[in-house]
Amino acid sequence: MKSLDTYIALNKFGLGPRKDETSDIANDPRGWILKQIKPEVSLPSELRRFRTASDIQRDIHVARRNGPDALRKVTRTGYREEFGAGIISRAQLAIATDAPFHERIVDFWSNHFTVSNSKRIIGPAIPAYEREVIRPHVFGRFADMLKAVCRHPVMLAYLDNVVSIGENSPLGQRRMKRTGATKTLNENLGREILELHTLGVAGGYSQDDVLELARAITGWTVSGVGPARDGDRVHGGFQFRHVFHEPGAKTVLGKTYHIAGPDQGLHILDDLARHPSTARFIATKLARHFVADNPPEAAIETLTNVFRDSDGDLAEVSKAIVNLDACWQNPGSKVRSHYEFVIAVNRATGNLNAGRPAVFLPLQELGQVPFTAPSPAGWGDTAADWVAPEALMRRIEWTRRFAGTQSMGQSPAQMVDALVGPVASEATRIWANRAPSADSALALVLTSPEFQRR
C-alpha cells in the first residue's frame, strides 16, 4: 500500500484492501471513490437469483392460512433459501466487489432503515427488502428511499402498521363497538419514521405529531395479512385498505394535510424528507460513520447544507463526504463492526468465494448476523459498540482459526505493508516478523489494532 490516502480510501470509505487490489487507487484515491457514485446502478448479478419480497411473503401468508405445519415448512425453507443464502451472497459481493464504497453506503442505509428478523415471519424477505428499496436509492433522492421503505411490506409488518386501524375508520368503529376497545391505532411506524428515519429524537416533534402521522398511514398494509376474505387474492405486496384508514385532515409539525386516502402519508413523508432537522440528523449520522465517533461540527454543517440545498440528493451528499478534509486527516478513527471485520479479513486473504464457514458462522459467533439488529435503531456506530474485551477475544480466536486455513504467499513484512503499511506501528512489524509461522503472522496482522480500525 503506497500512501496514507490509499489506506484511508480502502478502509474508511471501502471495506478493507483486497488481495489483488489494483495500483490505480494509489494514483487517485479520491477519484477511485467518486467513480463509484452512480445514481443508476443495476442489481448486481450475484443477487439476481433471489425472489421478490412480495413473492416470499405471499407464500408465507398462504401457508399461514393453511395451518401451523404449512407455515413452519414454508418459513423454514425461506430462512434457508432466502435469508441465509441471501446474507452469504451479500457478503460475497462485498468481499469481491470493485466498488466497495457503494457496498458500504448500502450497508449504512440498510442499517438506518433497519428491519430485523426479531419478527420471524418477515425474516426470509428481509434481504429482498434491502435489494428492492435500499440499493436502488442509495445515490438517488432521500425522499424516494423514505417513501419506498415505509410502504414496503417488510417494514409495514416489522413495525406493526399492518394492524394499525384508525379509530374513526369503518373497521375501527365496528371493532370498538364490538369489543369495547378504546384504541385501535398502532403508532410504532409513525414514531420510528420521526425518531429514527427523519427528524431524530431531538428533531422538534411531539407526541401529537406521532399520532397524526400514524393516523395518516393507517390503511397501509400487506396483502395476505389478517383473515381470508371471499375473493381475496394474496400477492404479498403493499395494499391500501380504505376500511382501516382514519378519515379527515391530519396536522403534522404545524401543517395540515387535507387530502385523505393512500397519498396523505406520502405528502407528509415528502415534507419530512425536506425538514431542516432531517438534514442535520442524517448529516450527523454520516459524519459519525465516515469521520469519527464524535465528528467535528464543521463536517456536520457541511453535509447538512449539501443535503438541504440538493433536496436530499444522496449522490451529491456522498460526493461531499468524499471531499470532507476531516475524512482524510485521521486514519483509523473508526473501529470496524464485526460485519466489517469479517468482510475485511476475507478481502485481505483473497477469499472471494467465502461461504457459510467463513461468513455466516463467524458472524453468528461474533453476534452480528445481518438483519438481526436488536431494535429498530439498528447496530451502533461507535467504538464502544464493538471493542468490549469479550468481543475482541472472540475476534482474535476466530481469526487465528481462519488464518490457519489460508495461504497468503507473502512474507510477514509484505503482509504488513499490503494490509496496514501506512499506519503500521513498530510493534506490529516486530511481532509479525517474530511469528513462528506464516499463519501466525497473518493472524497477528489481522488482529492488530491497525487492522481492527478503519
pLDDT digits (tens, 9 = 90+) for 282-293: 999 999 999 999
Q: Are residues 36 and 133 in the same domain?
A: yes
Domains in the chain, number: 3
Backbone angles phi, psi at 40, to 5 degrees: -105, 100
Q: Above 70 in pLDDT, residue 230?
A: no
Q: For residue range 344-380, what is the model confidence (pLDDT) as tens digits?
A: 999 999 998 899 999 999 999 999 999 999 999 999 9
**Which residues lie below 8 Å from residue 33, measured CB to CB, with a gap of 6+?**
9, 13, 14, 101, 322
Above 90 in pLDDT, residue 40? no
Give domain status of residue 147, yes or no.
no
269 and 162 within one domain: yes
Angstrom distances, CA of residue 112 to CA of 285, 296, 381: 9, 21, 11
Residue 280 resides in a domain: no
Query: pLDDT > 70: what percent of the chain?
Result: 99
Q: Say whether both 174 and 259 belong to one domain.
A: yes
State the Cα–Cα distance between residues 108 and 110, nearest whole angstrom.
6
Q: What is the pLDDT of residue 231?
A: 62
226 Cβ contact partners less than 8 Å away, ≥ 6 residues apart: 162
Mean pLDDT of the chain: 95
Give residue 181's pLDDT: 87
Cβ-based burial of 394 (10 A; exposed 0-12, middle 13-18, buried ≥19):
middle
Residue 248 to residues 169, 183, 205: CA-CA distances in angstroms? Answer: 10, 18, 21
Q: Check residue 41 and give its pLDDT.
A: 78
The whole-number pLDDT of residue 22 equals 66
pLDDT digits over 59-69, tens only? Answer: 999 999 999 99
Count CB neighbours of 294 within 10 A.
9
118's CB contacts (< 8 A; 6+ apart) are 372, 374
Query: What is the pLDDT averaged over residues 262-285?
Result: 98
Q: Are residues 441 and 354 in the same domain?
A: yes
Distances (CA, A) of 267 to 127, 130, 141, 257: 28, 23, 15, 8
Residue 48 is assigned to a structural domain of this protein: yes
pLDDT tens sequence across 294-323: 999 999 999 999 999 999 999 999 999 999
Tell whether the model's pLDDT for residue 13 goes beyond 80: yes
Residue identified by cell 405471499 is 58
If asked whether residues 76 and 41 sit together in one domain, one would say yes
Question: 348 and 310 in one domain?
Answer: no
195 shares a domain with 129: no
pLDDT in tens, 81-127: 999 999 999 999 999 999 999 999 999 999 999 999 999 999 999 99
For residue 55, which amino acid is it? Answer: D
**Pair (137, 163) in one structural domain:** no
Question: Does residue 53 share a domain with residue 29?
Answer: yes
Q: Which domain holds residue 171?
A: 158-273
With respect to residue 283, please indicate whether it lies within any of the assigned structural domains: no
Q: 104 lies in a domain?
A: yes
281 assigned to some structural domain: no
Residues 162 and 234 in one domain: yes
Q: Which residue type does 445 have?
A: V
**Are residues 187 and 316 part of one domain?**
no
The amino acid present at 426, given as its one-letter code, is E
Please give the model's pTM, rounded to 2 decimal places. Answer: 0.96
> Is 39 inside any structural domain?
yes
Distance CA 230, CA 425 (A): 70
Give the model's confidence band at 27: pLDDT under 50 very low, under 70 low, under 90 confident, else very high. Answer: confident
C-alpha distance from residue 207 to each of 88, 113, 197, 245, 361 (Å): 41, 21, 16, 20, 42
Based on the domain organization, do 438 and 407 belong to the same domain? yes
Output DSSP code: residue 453: B
The whole-number average pLDDT for the span 157-167 is 97
* Per-residue pLDDT tens over the stretch 186-203: 999 999 999 999 999 999
Residue 94 resides in a domain: yes
